[in-house]
Amino acid sequence: MTDIFDKCKRTHYSNQISPENEGETVKVTGWVHEIRDLGGIVFLLLRDKNGITQITAPSKKVSAEMMEDIRAARKETIITVTGTVQKSPKAPNGIEIIPSNIDIINVAQLPLPLDTTEKVDAELDTRLDSRFIDIRKHDVSAIFKIKSQMLHTARNYFYDHDFTEITTPKLVASATEGGTELFPITYFEKEAFLGQSPQLYKQMMMATGLDNVFEIGQIFRAEEHDTLRHLNEALSIDAEMSFRSQEDAMNTLESLIKTILANIQENCAKELEDLGHELDIPTEPFPVVSYDKVLDIVNSHDVEMNYGDDLSRAAEKVLGEEMGSYYFITEWPMSIKPFYVMPSTKDPEISTSFDLMYRDLELSSGSQRIHDYDLLYSRLEAKDLNPDSFEKYLEAFKYGMPPHSGWGMGADRLTMVLTGSKNIRETVLFPRDRRRLTP
């Protein structure tokens, strides 16, 4: 008996066949995307991860038994087709295949949970419930191909710039940044939490002598958001750098973003076309605007913002319209920044922190960090946090902690920018929000 994997071993993906292959015998495997039966001729569209191939079966050239098999094929059934390439200007890639053999690999049940041809729209919840089928659509799979390319580019960037990749615990004993927005879990006889951020661990790594580290990993926030840009489980790209200033951290982040944009533009042209999305690629340095200037901009548009306020949604929209694509906000008040952020030497009420924005969307937050033990201890107390809960973290600052800076960036939000997605749930395979825990 022929092994099933021998049956479905393709010679080409759809995008690898062109009119130059006319007359050649090829073997393609994929899902039945659509069937059109015109009586004396049947057109079957076969879909694989890279595109669609038209299988053309004229009754004069194909056996009656094969015609019967083709007509009986259901949408989303997996088939393998062996046949001869023929030019066809109106078909995908300008070719069609005249079949000499068809193998049915696995028959799909009907009705389907949703329509992969997109002739019938499906609500996002319906799509997420059947994500495995939703991603068969090329405009959806394009999002994840771009995200994959983005992550690959980011890792290569860090490796090329002398960073060491680390992985930090996601089960933690106390809050990373304070606050109550934590997911508690039972950890044997103790209470533990899902990590909000690798912040404390990557700072501890600055004391190891590795200098520059990065991590790409999950973070968890127990915030009861119900917006298009928040999730309770997200993917974060984090970097921390010894002997590097706030400006150094900003320059690294800007360089990384520009490298990612150039790489996506070069390597994901087909996916961008599937999405109908054009990348916004800045040629100039990212503008830098101070928090005080932000106040002026926001209030001049009749949106109230007082000193010490974080950005409201209305304020973000105003800034997005005023500032354009990528820009940094600096000189935030210390009062609204985490305990580990270093105060400015010019004014202790002003922080060395920065946010990277894309229009009205926050992509990243970073800062120079406090490396002095006594100052860090006092900042914990000032934020009404118990230093005893941070004992192991604080210990790393007692024995020679270098000055350092870093940032964390939302990979899912960056994917929104790269793909033109309006809802962050589109950019995550199986999103987790306050209402969704399956699949």
Instruction: Give 229-242 pLDDT, tens digit per residue.
Output: 999 999 999 999 99
Lowest-confidence pick of 60-69, 98-107, 169-178: 169-178
Residues 386-428 have pLDDT tens digits of 999 899 999 999 999 999 999 999 999 999 999 999 999 999 9
Q: Strand 288-290 relative to strand 326-330: parallel, antiparallel, unpaired?
A: parallel
The pTM of the full predicted model, rounded to 2 decimals, is 0.95
Q: Is 310 helix (H, G, I), strand (E, B) or coil?
A: coil
Task: Give me the domains of the chain, ranges plus CATH numbers.
Answer: 4-106 (2.40.50.140), 133-427 (3.30.930.10)
Q: Report the candidate in 169, 251, 207 with the shortest Cα–Cα distance to residue 376.
A: 207
Cβ-based neighbours of 289, under 8 Å, separated by 6 or more: 297, 323, 327, 328, 329, 330
Q: How many Cβ atoms are within 10 Å of 357's Cβ, its own excluded?
A: 25
Query: How many residues would you count in the chain?
Result: 439
C-alpha span between 127 and 135 (Å, rounded): 9
List the beta strands (DSSP E) in 157-211: 164-165, 171-172, 184-187, 190-194
Looking at residue 72, what is its pLDDT?
Answer: 86
Looking at residue 293, what is its pLDDT?
Answer: 98
Please determine, for residue 180, whether its predicted confidence score (pLDDT) is greater than 90: no
Q: For residues 275-286, give the mean pLDDT.
A: 96
Instruction: Output the average pLDDT for the chain.
Output: 95
Residues 338-364 have pLDDT tens digits of 999 999 999 999 999 999 999 999 999
Residues 153-174 have pLDDT tens digits of 999 999 999 999 999 999 998 7
Looking at residue 281, what is its pLDDT?
Answer: 95
C-alpha span between 260 and 280 (Å, rounded): 12
C-alpha span between 295 and 17 (Å, rounded): 57
Looking at residue 2, what is its pLDDT?
Answer: 63
